[in-house]
Amino acid sequence: MDPYKFRPSSAFNSPFWTTNSGAPVWNNNNSLTVGERGPILLEDYHLIEKIAQFDRERIPERVVHARGASAKGFFEVTHDITHLTCADFLRGPGVQTPVIVRFSTVIHERGSPETLRDPGNFDLVGNNFPVFFIRDGMKFPDMVHALKPNPVSHIQENWRILDFFSHHPESLHMFTFLFDDIGIPADYRHMDGSGVNTYTLVNKAGKTHYVKFHWKPTCGVKSLLEDEAVVVGGTNHSHATKDLYDSIAAGNYPEWKLYIQTIDPDHEDRFDFDPLDVTKTWPKTSCPSSRWPSGLEQEHRQFFAENEQLAFCPAIIVPGIYYSDDKLLQTRIFSYADTQRHRLGPNYLLLPPNAPKSAHHNNHHEGFMNFMHRDEEVNYFPSRYDPVRHAEQYPIPSRVLTGRREKTVIKKENNFKQPGERYRSWAPDRQERFIRRWIEALSDQRVTHEIRSIWISYWSQCDKSLGQKLATRLNVKPSM
């Protein structure tokens, strides 16, 4: 037998998708859920393997969000929302909670310029845009691979990005933000923030509301156009980090107001889209924002200890706040913590910037880099030698789940309406800059005629005049 015949090699690729063990994969786009909209099942071995493999692709810097800076401050409640949540840190106006915040770009490596156009304890992971490219975490590793540099040339290339997203028209809404004038924030202090994912607020009576979180900087939003980004990035490729550091050192502390939008789960069918779809925004008329607490960043942190070792995870919540069946959030519940265990080790929550500020007790011990002192003889539960007990029960959503195991897309995709509405809301000069950026991207030599036609068809379905302008300038007919 030839010992090299069956060794792993791309020369022996199967014509269909498989797991690492060679088992066939018949759906590489959708996670296995309880019914069409239910939560994701742990038994989706392909999803877990795919995400866990992706989480371990880079050492030691982060796979995404490697470039960033952090600051420390406090979070102060300004309005009473106890009718919505029993979360203790939101128990009333005036309550302050220490926070640490990290600002970052997404795709490029730790030393990359901060002027590149890029999508930007209780852990709340946010983005500078309110929507996302994909709605199911099954697609996340492929999405990042498409956005990352070509593995052969190590150059980020438009043809790869446009090829991947041509299969996913759900990305159109995100591209109306990324290719818009706000695509390059001027710095970290002058940009919005959005939680993107849908969480659930639970009050003492167990009543639930879906919630989205939004941050608004009190100093306003500022962005860079392409020519400005070239000048700023050419002068200092760490301009956003320097701006944050210098502002805090000068006592000019940046501040954000946090707002929430809520939906009663009993009313979710009233919309022409799925409220748990991260590619959609909730209309302000139906879901008005409510001003909530304010956050103030007031102390710069030592870079390695409290930036590189800072590890967030959307799964870390407190009583009164819970998850939803948002498919991207469901995947992130596993993925973020799994990434940190790989990057920083299984005991990353013992590191000072990540460690809980309250007393904690469990039987997790030993493992790499465990520096916690323990002298207990009993490291199992339950025990008559250890008085530790279960905590008091707190309310969580109790919706009854019904449905078959299935890998499927949601019914209300509605991929074209919101991107079209956003484009039509802009002034003509802003529309023109958006068109120009798309002309440049679609003019990449390796973008095929088929892919150009698909994108023009997508944008035509969002807005007929937008599609016509792209088609005319590129001399391509839409493939409707």
CA distances (Å), origin 30, targets 401, 439, 472: 19, 31, 36
Q: Which residue has the tokens 């979710």?
A: 268
Provide the CATH number for the domain around residue 257. Answer: 2.40.180.10
Residues 244 and 184 reside in one and the same domain: yes
Is 393 within a domain?
no
Is 65 noted as a catalytic residue in this protein? yes
Phi-psi region of 297 (alpha: psi -120 to 50; beta: other; left: phi over 0): beta
Indicate whether 51 and 89 sit together in one domain. no
Whether omega for the bond prior to residue 265 falls within 30 degrees of 0, making it cis, is no
Question: Both 421 and 448 in a single domain?
Answer: yes
What does the DSSP 8-state code read for residue 40? B
Would residue 222 count as lying in a domain?
A: yes
Q: Judge whether 127 counts as a catalytic residue.
A: yes
User: Does residue 404 lie in a domain region?
Assistant: no
- Annotated catalytic residue: which of 65, 108, 173, 239? 65
Instruction: Calculate the average pLDDT of the chain.
Output: 87
In a domain, 387, yes or no: no
Place of tokens 């030393």: 111
> Does residue 180 sit within a domain?
yes
Residues 80 and 192 placed together within one structural domain of the fold: yes
228 and 120 in a common domain: yes
C-alpha–C-alpha distance, residues 440 and 301, integer Å: 40
Q: What is the pLDDT of residues 378-428, one digit of tens each?
A: 888 888 898 888 888 888 888 888 899 999 999 999 999 999 999 999 999
Residue 1: pLDDT band with limits 50, 70, 90: very low
Among 30, 127, 347, 354, which one carries the catalytic annotation?
127
pLDDT at 301: 53
For 263-315, what is each residue's pLDDT tens digit?
Answer: 999 999 999 999 999 999 999 877 666 654 454 445 545 666 777 788 888 99
In a domain, 360, yes or no: no
- Please give the structure tokens belonging to residue 385: 């030698």
Indicate the number of domains in the chain.
3
Domain membership flag for residue 375: no
Is 279 found in the same domain as 156? yes
Pair (336, 434) in one structural domain: no
Q: What is the dihedral of CA 23, 29, 32, 34, to 10 degrees?
A: -160
Q: Looking at 298, 316, 350, which one is the last position of a domain?
A: 350
188 assigned ligand-binding residue: no
Tell me, yes or no, whether 39 and 113 share the same domain.
Answer: no
Residues 13 and 128 in one domain: no
Indicate whether 261 belongs to any domain: yes
Statement: residue 119 has pLDDT above 80: no
Residue 293 has a pLDDT of 45
Kindly write down the DSSP assignment for every residue of 61-120, as one continuous string: S-SSS-SEEEEEEEEE--S--TTT---GGGSSTT-EEEEEEEEE-SSS-TTS-TTS----
Considering the domain architecture, whether residues 166 and 283 belong to the same structural domain is answered as: yes
pLDDT in tens, 205-243: 999 999 999 999 999 999 999 999 999 999 998 999 899
Same domain? For 343 and 453 the reply is no
Considering the domain architecture, whether residues 423 and 290 belong to the same structural domain is answered as no
Q: Which domain holds residue 463?
A: 416-474
